């Protein structure tokens, strides 16, 4: 399986595209150019997500879906990319420049859920598990240290429930905050 030699460089490059392209999209009026830029942004986000989840890098045990026992430093890059992509849309909704604000809010929620969702899930599940007294190990046998072993399955199950709730709540809280800001700017 082929993979990228330096996945961090890929993530930083895609983050730069995520920071610039959405603002350019606000100003483009030619429909064909707009669709091409949307396609480029979607491909960029998919590349970033695939790199984070481990599908574009080689791992002996297969894709790790972004989870690491010591925390994945790329998680915050993925959350930042999602926020940077939806920021121009959020500004348009709050300042009442969006032609279809409800459709824009649904798009904001969808992008946050799909792009930042895995990172939020991994961050919350690891932190909740470790805060609940969980740990990893003992590692024995042929694959010692390569396979994640949870020493407290009940704490892990509880942290998974908290992570799932947080993953679903993140877009809802952002959309709710945008609606409150929109109402404040209406007065």
In 3D space, the residue among 169, 171, 38, 159 whose CA is nearest the CA of residue 114 turns out to be: 171
Question: Which tokens go with 112?
Answer: 């946050």
Beta strands in the chain (DSSP E): none
Domain that holds residue 104: 7-186
Write down the pTM of the prediction: 0.81
In a domain, 2, yes or no: no
Q: Give the pLDDT score at 76.
A: 85
At 40-56, the pLDDT tens digits run 999 988 888 888 877 77
Express each pLDDT in 1-48 by its tens digit: 345 566 667 777 788 888 899 999 888 989 999 999 999 999 988 888
Three-state secondary structure call for residue 30 = coil
Asked whether residue 1 is assigned to any structural domain, the reply reads no
Q: Can you tell me which residue has the tokens 């740990």?
A: 135
Residue written as token pair 């574009």: 56
Going from the C-alpha of 26 to that of each of 39, 41, 106, 162, 172, the distances in angstroms are 15, 13, 17, 36, 24
Whether 21 is in a domain gets the answer: yes
Rounded to whole angstroms, the Cα distance separating 105 from 86 reads 9
**pLDDT-based confidence at residue 77 (cuts at 50, 70, 90):** confident
Tokens of 80: 């930042």
Total number of domains constituting the chain: 1
């Amino acid at each position: 399986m082929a993979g990228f030699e330096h996945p961090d460089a890929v993530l930083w490059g895609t983050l730069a595209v995520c920071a610039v392209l959405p603002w350019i999209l606000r100003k483009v009026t030619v429909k064909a150019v707009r669709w091409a830029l949307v396609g480029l942004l979607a491909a960029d986000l998919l590349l970033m997500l695939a790199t984070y989840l481990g599908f574009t890098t080689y791992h002996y045990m297969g894709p790790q879906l972004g989870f690491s026992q010591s925390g994945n430093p790329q998680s915050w890059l993925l959350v930042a990319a999602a926020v940077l992509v939806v920021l121009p849309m959020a500004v348009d909704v709050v300042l009442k420049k969006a032609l279809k604000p409800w459709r824009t809010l649904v798009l904001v929620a969808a992008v946050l859920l799909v792009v930042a969702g895995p990172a939020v899930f991994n961050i919350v599940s690891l932190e909740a598990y470790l805060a609940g007294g969980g740990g990893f190990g003992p590692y024995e046998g042929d694959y010692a240290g390569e396979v994640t072993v949870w020493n407290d399955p009940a704490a892990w199950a509880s942290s998974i429930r908290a992570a799932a709730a947080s993953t679903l709540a993140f877009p809802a809280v952002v959309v709710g905050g945008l609606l409150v800001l929109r109402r404040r700017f209406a007065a």
